Structure formats: structure tokens, C-alpha cells
Amino acid sequence: MTDIISVEQAKTLSGLFNARVQRSSKHVAYRYFDRFSEQWCEYTWEQMNQFVARWQAALYKESFAPGDRVAVMLRNCPECVMFEQAALGLGLVLVPFYTEDRADNVAYMLSDAGAKLLLLEQTDNWQDVSDACCQVDGLRRIVVMGASERDRHKHVNHDFVVPLNTWLPKEASAVQQVDSDPHSLATIIYTSGTTGKPKGVMLSHHNILTNAYNSLQVVPVSQEDLLLSFLPLSHTFERTVGYYIPMMCGAKIAYARSIAQLQEDLLTVSPTILVSVPRIYERVYAGIRAKLAEGPAFSRWLFNFAVDVGYSRFEYLQGRGSSQLSHLLWPLLEKLVARKLMSKLGGRLRQAMSGGAPLSAEISRVFIGLGLPILQGFGMTESSPVVCVNRLEDNVPSSVGAPIPGVEVKLGEQDALLIRGPNVMLGYWNNPLATKAILSDDGWLNSGDVASIDEAGRVTITGRLKEIIVLSTGEKVPPGDMEAAITRDPLFEQVMVIGEARPYLSVLAVLNADNWQKMAALYGLDMNLSNPNQMSQVEEILLEKITRQTNEFPGYARIRKVALITEPWTVENELLTSTLKLRRIKILAHFKAEVARLYDGH
């Protein structure tokens, strides 16, 4: 059943919410796990509307003006929607933050955005964040979910940090919609830049609405669908695909308890659509491999055979392969192998989407071969985010698909992928120079990715112009800035941060010979590293020094492992350019074994 609200009908993001309430008032909108009753509970659209009215009344009392910024730092939950819709209805601009971000980084972004209110969850780091943000000029209020009066009195200024239960009124009148301009600023989403400081991407109501609507034209989602939301709502991918697209078509959303409990939540919720970054598929695949390794050889053979047959059948159905006799075995293989995998994902998945980072061909082949159509796409925060996506009937896993309707792509200098469309950002907040560097006067956004475009219009990403590492979790990290920070410690002669499409960052490090000699003497270590029993101690010392130098970077940019390289990188051995820049691809290839050890088991 299709019940899509058009861009014209919605006009704004708060208008979209209002239209959905009018159409589906009695239908379930959100499911969540109540930690007090330890049960899964539901809210209808009408109930959500009543909550939004209360949140809006609380915001209204703050006397904010349209265009003022308010920030949110919560795990995914219905309250995220309540707060955002209440704010947008009053013409306020939402600024979302990652819940695991460092306090000083949050304080910087609050100050840069000029936010006047922060909604904060009472998590392990809420006190640190609250204390750091008390010094931010212009910030009037911090509202803490789950905080008690006793928590409130820990602060000198009791009116500045308030618990939600005293800030939120018990009842309120109808929801208001102050702003009806679709091209006004709706949100500022901070993304890592090459300077090490995050940049605020400005997206309008129209940017996000058109991106959601045009994505729905090629990837069908309906009222019958149920999505399990676990990617952070501060991530543009989840915000558009896992929040506004379901609202636009009336699908239900269940909020996962945590990534650690995701496997259990998949079984309980049984979603029909999965929106994820590659890391989740990697984890499921790693679990399958580990179990197969422990079992008999026949089980491994049967699994691999099922994948081969299933993928061959997929290629045939896509019109790229011929019919094979082995395809007749698929019903049996599906029963013996494929259904077991699908049951671990809830048993009802009809499609999955992968974005935020490249999905490896091996993992894509396994899932598709076992009957789960994974649609890989491409986007960036600056494009709201979806640019390209594969279709169910035209799925080429090695590509990111063709552009969605309304979006143009072309190749610029050095085959850089350029993007133009109604989804392209307004610019970077308070940063006209950075805006001019990426966005041309005629509206073309430079993605910084090297690409090719085939005759059918499908895009394949072949490299990166910018040296930005994209982790398998979707976060982006500028390695040059981190490398410069690490080499501030004189122990490190040369370093290279790695982690492209991996779950975490690591470092390849060449040490300064003189300083290494001093350190070895200080700790009683074998300078020649001939004692393998000391390697773990050496790595622990190096990681401690690296962490000390990289504290200024966001929490997800933590270096987790280090490999000590004894061979310096020079122009002569072709690991440096003539201008002494790292030849990253050659270094990775040269030290392939060391890199493999850093990610062994992941």
C-alpha cells in the first residue's frame, strides 16, 4: 500500500509530520524499548503529535526566535523526533551531535553554531559535556533527560541545567507551524573537515524533502514496512533514509536498544528493511565465518556452494548471466542455508541498504547470494545525503548505482564526481571560503571522489581526491591532520593513519632512531626488537603517546592499533613522492602483511 506525501504537500519537514498525523493518526508510528517496564512499547502518530505539542510549549517559553539554533545529543528514541518536530514547527534550526563525542568538541560546535539550548541524555559522559558547555557563550539552557532534582543541584546555576521532567509541561495546546518557507534553514550537521575542526553543513527543508521523495521513487518503501533504527540520527544517512523517508510513506520505525543488543533486537522486531553502514554487515559475516570455521568441512562447502549458486542466479535474474542447471537446486539450498542466515536478521527482510562507506565485494556477494538484496548507494552530508543508489531490478554491487531522479552527476577535473540538484546544501555555516572551495557558482558540488560513469549512467567510485578516510561505520577522518598531530611527538619520524572501509583507525609508524634508543633504554627494552615478548609493551607505549597527541580529534577518530615499521619511507624506495608526500597506495601494498595483522579478525 502506497501513501506517499509529496514535497509540495509537505512544504517543510514539520509540515511533513503534520500531514502524516492527519493521514495516519491511529497507526503505529514508533516502537521503543521501555527500560523501566523492560517491554517494547508503541506510539501512534496522534500520540506523537500530543507529545510534540508539549515539547513545543516548553521551547516556546524560552522565547526563541525563528532561525535560532537548538542542539540535541540523544541516542535514537521517540524523544528525538518529538524535540526536532517541536523545534522545526517553531522555525528553529536543529543541530544534532553524536552521543559519544568528546565534551570539548561538543562545546566547540555549540559555540560555532550559536546554539541556545542543548538537550542532553543522562549517559556516562553527560556531566563532562554539561560542565564543558556551561562556558559556551549564548547557550541559555541545558535540558537533561532522566536527570533528577539531586543531579540538578550539583550545578551552581540550577536554572541553567534542568531535568526534563521539570522543563516539560504536563499538557499543551495544538502543534504550531511558524515557518512555511521550504528553502529556509532546517538543520546544521557537523562533518569532519581537512582542518581537523568540523564544518557545519546547512541543509534546508527542501533539500531533505526532495532527497527523501526522489529516493522513494527508486527504492520502494510502504506503510507495510518496519525499519529498525540503530545508526545515529546525527548521521545524515539515518536522518533522511531511516527517519524522513518512513515518515513520508507511513512506514513504522523501531528504535534499537544499542549496537551491542542489535542481534537480539533484529530477532524481536523482525524488520522488513535494514538501513546500515558496512560495519554491521561485516559483523554478521564475521560471525558466520567464525561459526563455519568451528564446524565440519562439509558445512563450509555447502555454504560456499549456496553462495555461488545464489549469486549466479542473481546475475541471471538481473539479465547479466545465463541460466544454469545448478539454479534448480536453489529451493533446497535456500531451505538448508539461506533461511538460516535470514532468520538471524529477523526472518522478514526483503531488502537492505548500505551507505556511508564502501561495502566490500566479498561481503556483498555473500548476502546477495543468500537472498538478501543489498542496495549500495553513494552520498555525502552536503547532498542531504543520497546521490546515487542501485535499484532492485538494476543492482550492480561493484557500483553505487545511477543518480536518483532530480540529481545530476558529471565528471570534473581529475574525474572528480560533481553533483547538482535540489538536495545540494546551502553551504557551510560561517565558512564562505570552505563553501566556495566545494560548491561552484552554478551549483555543482565537488564530492572529492574519483569516479567513472558507464553508458547506463551508473556511477562507480574508483578513488578519493581528498585524503579522507571513510570508516566502515561511516565516519570520515582527515588522516593528514592526525599524522601531523602524532609527529609532534619527536619519537615518531613518519606515520600513516589507515582505516579506509575498516571498523577502526590504525597507524603504521617509523620511529626516530635516536629517540627510540632513549625510550628503549628508559623502559629496558630491546632496541632491535628481537624479543617478541616485548612487542605488546612497545605497542602499548606507542598507543599511549599517539592518544595523547590526538585528543583534539572526535571520539570516533581514536587510534586503536599501531604497527612498528623498521624500514624508513624514502623517495628512493618509492614510498615518498619527490615532494616528500606519502605514496599511500604503495605504502599499503608494501606493508600488506602488517596491515592484515592490524585488522586480523575484523
Tens digits of residue pLDDT in 535-559:
888 999 999 999 998 988 888 889 9
Per-residue pLDDT, 17? 97
Buried b / exposed e across 493-532, counting CB within 10 Å, b at 16+?
A: bbbbbbbbebbbbbbbbbbbeeebeebbeeeebeeeeeee
**Looking at the DSSP assignment, which residues form a beta bridge with residue 249?**
none
10-180 and 478-598 agree in CATH topology: no
All residue ranges of the chain with pLDDT < 70 are 1-2, 147-158, 192-196, 577-580, 602
Architecture of domain 10-180: 3-Layer(aba) Sandwich (3.40)
Per-residue pLDDT, 473? 85
Omega of the bond leading into 220 within 30 degrees of 0 (cis): no
Whether this model's pTM surpasses 0.85? no
Per-residue pLDDT, 581? 75
Residue spans of the domains in the chain: they are 10-180, 478-598
Q: Domain 478-598 maps to which CATH number in 1.10.10.60, 3.40.50.2300, 3.30.300.30, 3.30.70.20?
A: 3.30.300.30
* Strand duo 161-163 + 141-145: pairing: parallel
Per-residue pLDDT, 156? 39
Round the CA-based radius of gyration of the chain to a whole number and report it. Answer: 25
pLDDT digits (tens, 9 = 90+) for 422-459: 999 999 999 999 999 999 999 999 998 889 999 999 99
Q: How far is it, in rounded angstroms, from Cα 7 to Cα 405?
A: 14
What sign for the dihedral angle of Cα 156, 161, 163, 167? positive
Per-residue pLDDT, 192? 64
Per-residue pLDDT, 154? 58
Q: How far is it, in rounded angstroms, from Cα 234 to Cα 187?
A: 11
